[in-house]
Structure 1
Amino acid sequence: MLMRRYRSILALMLALVTTCLVSCGSPAATTPPPAYTTQQVEQIQRTVSSLWEVREKMPVLKTRINNRDWVNVATYIHGPLGSLRQTMSYLTRQLLPQEQKAASEAANDLFEHLQKIDTASQSRNYELAIKNYQEALIDFDRFLKLIPDASNAAGVA
């Protein structure tokens, strides 16, 4: 009989402790989604300006393709566009984690199209070169749309 009372008291105490722990526990803290600081956006904007210069010069590549100037097509891809991969990789790493995957995919697609243009210039294939030039522009623009501007800054120092 003493055992039954002991079990009842023990069960009651466990119920009280459990109730207290559950009711006194705080809900999981919700963190705000990550945002860019003003300094991050400024750094990204300084780097992206060189990308905009390259993007504005892309019609030079189209002119060379249209003129079937294959040697200069390859030279342009490896010359003025040569540092593009490094710059885009740096910018991709500066983006928020949820945007890095899309930026990386756009950059990789751009490089694949530039490689195909280079291959087309070696085989003197105008149709393949101009098709991949158009696709490269789409990928370049897709990448640039992912770059934050001042309106994306959280204002946190």
Structure 2
Amino acid sequence: MARQRSIFSFFLVLLATFLISCGGPNVAVAPPTYTAVQLEKIQAYLPEIQAVRDRSQELKTLIQRGDWINVRNFIHGPITEARLNLTYVTPNLLPKDQSTARQITRDLFNDLVKLDKATSASNPQVALSKAQAAFADIDKFLELLPKTSSQPEAS
């Protein structure tokens, strides 16, 4: 019986040694890249986001004129749609960029809430400040997007 245990132990040691030696170093994994489907989904929303971004001067003018009804319409219309599009794009970004994109989208939402409050209070200074912050958030988000040949260059 003792002899069988020692032979059994010997085979277990051989098996363990073999399994450990086969483990070897990990194979290098290529960095994550965008798939064609992800790029297509991102590109579908990009023109709408960029169009709202390009209208920043329009919002600034409305605030300076004190046209609070149209400012609120702009907040609850185009900018809110752009924020919604940002949330649609986020899952298609690389995993390392998704948490940053979610944070930027939350920051944009918070800036829009403060902008809406400033608009309700007819406070142009705070409204201008929050409008600039909102468009800065959109710019930060656009920087996360993959650069493609069809994407317009920022001016």
What is the Cα-based RMSD across aligned positions, in Å? 2.1
Kept after mapping to 2: 8 A contact 1:107/1:139:
yes
Letter in 1 for 2:144: L
Query: Rg bigger for which structure?
Result: 1
Q: Distance in 1 between matches of 2:103 and 2:140?
A: 10
Larger relative contact order (Cα-Cα within 8 Å, sequence gap ≥ 6): 1
**2:54 is aligned with 1:52:** no
Give the structure 1 partner of residue 145 of structure 2.
147
Superposed displacement of residue 17, structure 1: 2.0
1:51-91 Cα offsets, whole Å, 9 max, x none, are: 11110011111111111221221121122323122211111
TM-score, length basis structure 1: 0.82
Give the structure 1 partner of residue 69 of structure 2.
71
More deviation in 14-23 or 58-67? 14-23
Kept after mapping to 1: 8 A contact 2:83/2:108:
no
Give the structure 2 partner of residue 125 of structure 1.
123
Give the structure 1 partner of residue 41 of structure 2.
43
**2:112 is aligned with 1:82:** no
Unaligned regions of 5+ residues in structure 1, if any? 152-157
Kept after mapping to 1: 8 A contact 2:49/2:85:
yes
More deviation in 74-83 or 50-59? 74-83
Letter in 2 for 1:90: Y
Q: Distance in 2 between matches of 1:21 and 1:66?
A: 73
Superposed displacement of residue 26, structure 1: 4.6
Q: Distance in 1 between matches of 2:16 and 2:71?
A: 73
Superposed displacement of residue 150, structure 1: 2.4
1:104-139 Cα offsets, whole Å, 9 max, x none, are: 111121121122111111111122111111211221
Corresponding residue to 2:14 among 13, 16, 25: 16
Identical aligned pairs, as a percentage?
40
Q: Distance in 1 between matches of 2:50 and 2:12?
A: 66
Q: Distance in 1 between matches of 2:79 and 2:5?
A: 79
Unaligned regions of 5+ residues in structure 2, if any? 150-155
Structure 2 vs 1, CA of residues 15 and 50 (structure 1 numbering), >3 Å: closer, same or farther? same
